[in-house]
Amino acid sequence: MASKHNVTQKLSLALGVSVALALAVWWSIEAQASDEPPDRHEAQRVTHLKHITTLAEAEALQQGDILAVVCSMCRFVEIHHVTNDKLHVKLMTVGEKHTCAVCGGIVTLVGTGKGNGKNEEVNHVCSKCGDDAMFVCATKAGGGEHQHDARGK
C-alpha cells in the first residue's frame, strides 16, 4: 500500500512539473509573438545589438552607428559612437591593445585563426579577466535594424 502511495506522489509531482514547464514555454512564446512592446519599455523601441567578431564587420559600420565593448567579468559596457576617427576599427584590429577602464588589465586583440584577413575572428584577451570575458556588439543609428544576437550562444 505504501509503494502505491509513493508512485502516486511521484506521478503527481511529475504531472505538476510538466504543466508548469508547459505554461512557462507557452508564456514565453506568447510574449515573443506579441506585437505590443513589453510594459517595462512602454512605448520605447528596444535596441537590438549584433555581435561583431571581425575587422570587416567593424569597417562596415557607418558614422552614427554605435559599438559596445562588453566585459562580462568586470560587468562593464564601454560605448563608442562610430565617427570618422575610425576608433571602432582599432577596437577590432589584431595586434592592437587598450586598457580596461574597470580592472586596469591590458586587453590585446588576437586572431582566433577562424577566417582570413579582415574576415578573421578577433578575440579580446584581458590580462586580468582572461580570453573569454570580452566581446563587441553594434547597432545601426536609430536602433533596431540589426537582428538580436545573444552572446550566450
Q: Within this chain, do residues 54 and 24 fall inside the same structural domain, yes or no?
A: no
Q: Is the dihedral of CA 103, 105, 108, 114 positive or negative?
A: negative
Would residue 150 count as lying in a domain? no
Nearest to 89 by CA among 55, 140, 49: 55
Q: Which of 6-10, 37-41, 143-147 has the highest mean pLDDT?
A: 6-10
Would residue 149 count as lying in a domain? no
Would residue 77 count as lying in a domain? yes
Q: Within this chain, do residues 31 and 104 fall inside the same structural domain, yes or no?
A: no
pTM of the model: 0.60
Q: What is the pLDDT of residues 58-116, one digit of tens each?
A: 999 888 888 888 888 888 888 888 888 888 888 888 999 988 888 999 999 999 889 88
Name the more confident of 15 and 104.
Answer: 104
Report the domain count for the chain: 2
d(CA 22, CA 39) in angstroms, rounded, equals 23
The mean pLDDT value for 7-15 works out to 66
Q: Within this chain, do residues 67 and 116 fall inside the same structural domain, yes or no?
A: yes
**Number of continuous H segments (helices) and E segments (strands) in the chain:** 3, 7
7 has pLDDT over 80: no
Q: Within this chain, do residues 85 and 109 fall inside the same structural domain, yes or no?
A: yes
Q: Within this chain, do residues 28 and 67 fall inside the same structural domain, yes or no?
A: no
Q: Within this chain, do residues 8 and 67 fall inside the same structural domain, yes or no?
A: no
Q: Give the residue numbers spanning the domain of 19.
A: 2-35
Q: Within this chain, do residues 73 and 117 fall inside the same structural domain, yes or no?
A: yes
Q: Within this chain, do residues 65 and 120 fall inside the same structural domain, yes or no?
A: yes
What pLDDT does residue 106 have? 92
Q: Within this chain, do residues 70 and 109 fall inside the same structural domain, yes or no?
A: yes
153 has pLDDT over 50: no
Q: Within this chain, do residues 25 and 56 fall inside the same structural domain, yes or no?
A: no
Residue 149 CB: number of other CB atoms within 10 A? 14
The mean pLDDT value for 131-139 works out to 87
The pLDDT-based confidence of 13 (bands split at 50, 70, 90) is: low
Name the more confident of 84 and 8.
Answer: 84
Q: Within this chain, do residues 92 and 64 fall inside the same structural domain, yes or no?
A: yes
Q: Within this chain, do residues 73 and 123 fall inside the same structural domain, yes or no?
A: yes
* Residue 91 exposed, middle or buried by CB count within 10 Å (0-12, 13-18, 19+): buried
